[in-house]
Chain A
Amino acid sequence: GAGVSQSPSNKVTEKGKDVELRCDPISGHTALYWYRQSLGQGLEFLIYFQGNSAPDKSGLPSDRFSAERTGGSVSTLTIQRTQQEDSAVYLCASSPRDRTNQPQHFGDGTRLSIL
């Protein structure tokens, strides 16, 4: 079966541009997560979606970051007016139900480089 799919795998853009990153979770998984991973660092939580519940946005670093999940499946993470410090790998993960006591299945990420 297909795993979590993220696109694009790499994105290079100029400072100030907006970018959109896409995540296709595993079919049937109700929980979806976005993380950011800077070079040599651990994973930084950004946002969590669970079914039709209001998302947990507590990890979004600024109002330039937003995410949505349409139809309980595909999610997009949007970064407006990108800054150089936004350069990182953005990872998406999904799990079959909520985030309680179960592992997440990760995609291979989008490597974002801001020039």
Chain B
Amino acid sequence: GESVGLHLPTLSVQEGDNSIINCAYSNSASDYFIWYKQESGKGPQFIIDIRSNMDKRQGQRVTVLLNKTVKHLSLQIAATQPGDSAVYFCAEQNYGQNFVFGPGTRLSVLP
């Protein structure tokens, strides 16, 4: 399940299940969104992006959904694997402005 506490929100899933990580963004004018994966001791790694003229985009085992009406972004990971354990960040951008990053969600994959 998903929990919010003093630390990062954590999502725990069983290996092989699908994961859904959510992000509420703040600026209704944002027109570009990215999901990053950050493993311990490493820098963020690009996963997938989406522009505001789309509501869904698929990659390899990942899908990003964008709901502009409620300013919500989600990342779906199919058949979650132990190597997917990491912190996942969403980032939003209003054309040409600085990116704004969310606080992140820690994904923990259980054997």
Contacts and interface: CB of A to CB of B under 8 A. Distances in A.
Answer yes or no: are A and B bound together in one complex: yes
B43 A99 contact: no
Given A101-B51, A107-B43, A42 B95 contact: no
A43 B7 contact: no
Q: How extensive is the interface on chain A, given as a class? A: 20 to 34
Contacts of B97: 99
Given A42-B104, A43-B101, A99 B45 contact: no
Interface residues of B, number: 26
Contacts of B96: 98-100
Contacts of A99: 93, 96-99
Interface of B: 7-8, 31-32, 34, 36, 41-46, 49, 51, 89, 91, 93, 95-99, 101-104
23 contacts: A40-B7, A40-B8, A40-B103, A42-B89, A42-B103, A45-B99, A48-B98, A59-B98, A91-B44, A93-B43, A98-B96, A99-B97, A99-B98, A100-B95, A100-B96, A101-B31, A101-B32, A101-B51, A101-B93, A103-B46, A105-B46, A106-B45, A108-B43
